[in-house]
């Protein structure tokens, strides 16, 4: 089944404790993105990757890192999480930026 998977689905952590949210797709897509969804703000792109080893900042990259060592995986790293990073995070993939994006189920992160 074609899908985007994210882990973990729920995470409660404390300020400053490094964490990684994994994202994997099995559709051989080139373009992958991370978004955060906050009430009243919609989805905001954090980082995106056009293909392996090529990433670029979205609209809200501060406090996040990404890597794209393999086509299928695009982990999101929070080196030192802060409470303002409490949010719902979505990973998405598509053939290119102009094609249909397929979204993961979301990761609800709470930073205390």
Partner 1 sequence: AQSVSQHNHHVILSEAASLELGCNYSYGGTVNLFWYVQYPGQHLQLLLKYFSGDPLVKGIKGFEAEFIKSKFSFNLRKPSVQWSDTAEYFCAVTGYSSASKIIFGSGTRLSIRP
Contacts with 15 (C-beta within 8 Å, 6 or more apart), sequence order: 80, 81, 82, 83, 111, 112
Q: How far is the CB of 103 from partner 1 (least distance, A)?
A: 4
6 in Cβ contact with 103 (< 8 Å) = no
Q: How far is the CB of 69 from partner 1 (least distance, A)?
A: 19
Strands 4-7 and 19-25: antiparallel
Q: How far is the CB of 88 from partner 1 (least distance, A)?
A: 11
Binding interface with partner 1 (CB under 8 A): 30-31, 33, 35, 40-45, 48, 50, 56, 58-59, 90, 92, 96-98, 100-106
Backbone angles phi, psi at 84, to 5 degrees: -75, 0
How far apart CA 12 and CA 5 sit, in angstroms, is 19
Q: How far is the CB of 20 from partner 1 (least distance, A)?
A: 21
Residue closer to partner 1, measured from CB, 4 or 111: 4
Residue closer to partner 1, measured from CB, 32 or 109: 32
Residue closer to partner 1, measured from CB, 55 or 85: 55
């Amino acid at each position: 089944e074609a899908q985007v998977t994210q882990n973990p689905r729920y995470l409660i952590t404390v300020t400053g404790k490094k964490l990684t949210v994994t994202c994997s797709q099995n559709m051989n897509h080139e373009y992958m993105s991370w978004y955060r969804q906050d009430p009243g703000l919609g989805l905001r792109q954090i980082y995106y990757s056009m293909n392996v080893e090529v990433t670029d900042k979205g609209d809200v990259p501060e406090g996040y890192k990404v890597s794209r060592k393999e086509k299928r995986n695009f982990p999101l790293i929070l080196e030192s999480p802060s409470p303002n990073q409490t949010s719902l995070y979505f990973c998405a993939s598509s053939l290119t930026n102009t094609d249909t994006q397929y979204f993961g189920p979301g990761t609800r992160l709470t930073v205390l």
